[in-house]
Structures are given as C-alpha cells and as structure tokens.
Copies of this chain bind each other. A is one copy, B any other.
Amino acid sequence: MFRKLVTVEEAKKLLDQNFTPKPLGIETVSLSEAHGRVLAVDIISPFDVPPFDRSTVDGYAVKADDTFGADEDRPLSLKLCGEVTIGEAPKVKIGRGMAAEIVTGAPMPEGADAVVMMEHTVRKGETILVHTSVSKTENIMRAGSDIRKGETVLKKSVLLSSHEVGVLAAVGAAKVNVYKRPRVAIISTGAEIVEPGKQLASGKIYDINAHALSAEVIECGGEPINLGIVQDQADQMKTALKEALTVADVVITSGGVSVGPTDIIPKVLDMLGKPGVIIYGVAMRPGKPTTMAIINGKPVFSLPGHPASSLLTFHLFVKPVLIKMTGRTEELPLTVKAVTSERLFPARGRRTYVTVTLKRDKKGKIMAYPVPTGASGAITTLSKADGFMEIHENQQFVHAGETVTVHLFKPEVYYSLMK
C-alpha cells in the first residue's frame, strides 16, 4: 500500500478536519489540589471582600465630623463607649461625641465612619483626647474594596497558580471545578528496546521515548499512562491499542512506523475503528514516518522511534492538541529570532527541523548553533538544545548569517538570552 506523504500543513489540516480537541469534562477538587489545574468555570464572588468595613489601624472608631478642628494643641474630647475586637461583630454603636477602641482588621461599629490612630490620642479614664482631625472613611478599608459581590474574579480556562489559589480562598471556594486532565496512553514498540533497569542484552537499547513522552504529557497538563513496551506483532499491538483506547483519551505510540517489513501499526489501527489512519507519513525530516489516526473519536499519534524525532513530532502535532484538551487558553508560540551560524540545507522535498542552541555573540546578536544529531536517534541532542528551526521544503538553503525563527522548548531560555 503506497500512500503519499503529506506536508506539515496538510497534516495539521487533516488532523483538524478529523478531530476537534476540547476539554473532556469537569471535575471538582479541593482547594489544596487546585494548584496547577485549569479552571473550568468563571468564579463570581458571592459576597464583598472584605465583607465589612475594616479598620486598617489600631485606634478609635469615631464620627469624622466630631474631630473637625482638632489639632495637636487643641484636642477635642470624646467619650469612650466600648471596644471592638477583631473577628467579632461589634457590640457598640457610635453616637455623636463617642468613640470605641478598635484594632487593625476589626469591623467598624455602626455609626462610626473613620478611625483616629492610637498615636494621635491620649486616654484619660473614659475620655479620649483626639489630637487630629480625620475625614470620612479615613483609616478604613471599605467592604468590597478588594472584591465586589458579583464580580468575576477569575475567568475559566486560566491555569491556577499561587495567586489565583489566593483569590479562590478569598471568595471561600473550598471546592473548585477544574477540567479533567486528558489521559494519554503511551506505548513503545520495537524488538530492540528494553525497559530501563533491566539487563541490556546484546543488540538491545533502553526505552527512552515512553519516559520522555510521559514527562512531556505531564508538562502539557495531561496524565500519562505508560503501557510499556509492545512487540511489533499484529495481535500484540492490537491488544495493546485496544486497551490504550479504553483507558485513555489520546494514544501515543513510538517506533514501529518506519517504512519497513515490520510496519504493522497502520494496518492494526485501520482494523480498530473509523476513520482509522488519516496520515501515513509527513514530508519532514526528522519525523517522516509520523502516522496519525482517529479511532472512534480518539486521536492516535504514531511517532517515530528515534527519541529526537519523537519529541520533535510531539511538539509539532501532539502538544497543541493536548493543550486544547486541558481547556487552557492557548499559549503564545514560543519563538525568537536568531542568526544562523552556518549554511543549512533542507532534506530534498521535506520540511527540515534543525535543533539548535542559542547564544549571544560579542555584538549582542542571538546566534543559533545547530546541535549535531549524528543520526536522529540522539537523545543528548535534545537535552542540549534550546529549540529548533524550520527550513521550508521549497528553500534551497539557509545562508550562514540569515535571520531565522527558532521555536523554544521553554520560556526561561528566552529570558536568559535577553539579560
């Protein structure tokens, strides 16, 4: 069965036509579990924060009018009528000429509209000498001055960091509705791969992809389900993919899709449901064997076995889908302009991706240095690279010194370049 390779854009379009990534539903978690989750509803405050007028100082709650004209030399005297403590409803009412002792954070008693700071007063028995005038609302934090009742304090789709968790606590949200994390089943294939920790027999190498892809899934806000290593045989692969499609919302396989005698994954996928395989390879390098299927509404990404290729194709095709499934507002694409250090050629007729490290030269230019990949199998390529650049299949070459766009793996890289 010969199928034409599609371009990167055609692949994205085909994926888009056959699968609409969206959140998988809502679950309720406790506030202590909310950090790092994606809010699934707008949060509207059911009350004012603070819920009452509060004193912002230690002093005396008064009627501001009663202090009019007071100054250091000519104090006015008020009658002490009680005290207001923090955390309790005030038991006093302030009439004309009266004052109640109040501490920082305590609710304002009825009738009072300002607080005179302790240091501007002298107490003589039940008489308070006020040595300054205060205006209405002075030294008061008004009810609702932080958050008004009915105000939308957080919008759905926000990723909850510490500050948003604080806002949730402020409005009393002990339980929080967040989007379910997409579950992502991960299958590694290949007769040569062995689980790390096991003995490495002759001809074998350790499975890198299942672990690196699991970590990528976590970074996207998904929940990885590592189904281990499955041999490249139709019956075993069919069983594994069936299980994957049962337990997960998205399936990723790596390996077993190079064009060779053991290329059975596409055949198995087509048996499992409709529409089956929609992309039988992409005109790109690395990443040519990348295969995608939709099985009864769930996407299956069959990525190449080489670690650098599988992580690159994860970034290009899987990550944008996962981010949408988490319910997050889409991220800014992380790119930076850089100058290539050497002339680069695309693979003939294929979109070419070159992993690079970025460094400022003496003149301050951001330079992109290709990371030698040896074969595309090199995992160290990725651990050393800051990002990757793209060479279009129609380009003859990229000049040394040409300005190109580099896609970054992490925002921190960008920041460290700018310092």
Contact B47 A212 (CB under 8 A): no
| Binding site secondary structure of chain A | loop
Residues of chain B with a CB closer than 8 A to A383's CB: 153-154, 163-164, 166-167
Chain A residues 130 to 169 lying within 8 A of chain B, measured CB to CB, are 141-142, 145-147, 153-154, 160-169
Contact B87 A215 (CB under 8 A): no
A96 to B68, CA, bound (A): 111
Is A173 interfacial (CB 8 A cutoff)? Answer: yes
Contact B47 A200 (CB under 8 A): yes
Is A185 interfacial (CB 8 A cutoff)? Answer: no
Is A316 interfacial (CB 8 A cutoff)? Answer: no
Contact B377 A106 (CB under 8 A): no
Chain A 45-71 interface mask (CB, 8 Å, partner B; 1/0):
001011110101010000000000000
Tell me which of A346-354, A392-400, A408-416 binds B. Answer: A408-416
Contact A86 B219 (CB under 8 A): no
Contact A418 B418 (CB under 8 A): yes
Chain A residues 233 to 274 lying within 8 A of chain B, measured CB to CB, are 258, 260-262
User: In the complex this chain forms, how many copies of it are found?
Assistant: 2
Kindly name the residue among A172, A173, A260, A262 whose own CB sees the greatest number of chain B CB atoms within 10 A.
A172
Q: How many residues on the A side are at the interface (Cβ–Cβ under 8 A)?
A: 101
Is A120 interfacial (CB 8 A cutoff)? Answer: no
Is A419 interfacial (CB 8 A cutoff)? Answer: yes
Contact A50 B205 (CB under 8 A): yes
Residues of chain B with a CB closer than 8 A to A153's CB: 380, 383
Smallest beta-carbon distance A125→chain B, Å: 19
Is A104 interfacial (CB 8 A cutoff)? Answer: yes
Chain A residues 263 to 308 lying within 8 A of chain B, measured CB to CB, are 305, 307
- Cross-chain contact of A215 among B49, B165, B412 (Cβ < 8 A): B165
A168 to B412, CA, bound (A): 22
Contact A411 B412 (CB under 8 A): yes
Smallest beta-carbon distance A149→chain B, Å: 12
Smallest beta-carbon distance A297→chain B, Å: 27
Contact A311 B103 (CB under 8 A): no
Is A26 interfacial (CB 8 A cutoff)? Answer: no
Chain A residues 171 to 229 lying within 8 A of chain B, measured CB to CB, are 171-175, 190-193, 195-198, 200-216, 218-219, 226
Is A9 interfacial (CB 8 A cutoff)? Answer: no
Contact A87 B192 (CB under 8 A): yes
Contact A169 B50 (CB under 8 A): no
Contact B103 A169 (CB under 8 A): no
Smallest beta-carbon distance A189→chain B, Å: 11
Contact A379 B167 (CB under 8 A): yes
Residues of chain B with a CB closer than 8 A to A17's CB: none
Chain A residues 68 to 95 lying within 8 A of chain B, measured CB to CB, are 85-90
* A to B CB contacts below 8 Å, 22 in the list: A31-B197, A52-B203, A86-B190, A86-B203, A107-B202, A141-B375, A141-B377, A146-B377, A146-B378, A162-B311, A163-B212, A163-B383, A166-B211, A166-B382, A167-B379, A169-B196, A169-B212, A170-B379, A170-B380, A172-B200, A411-B411, A411-B415
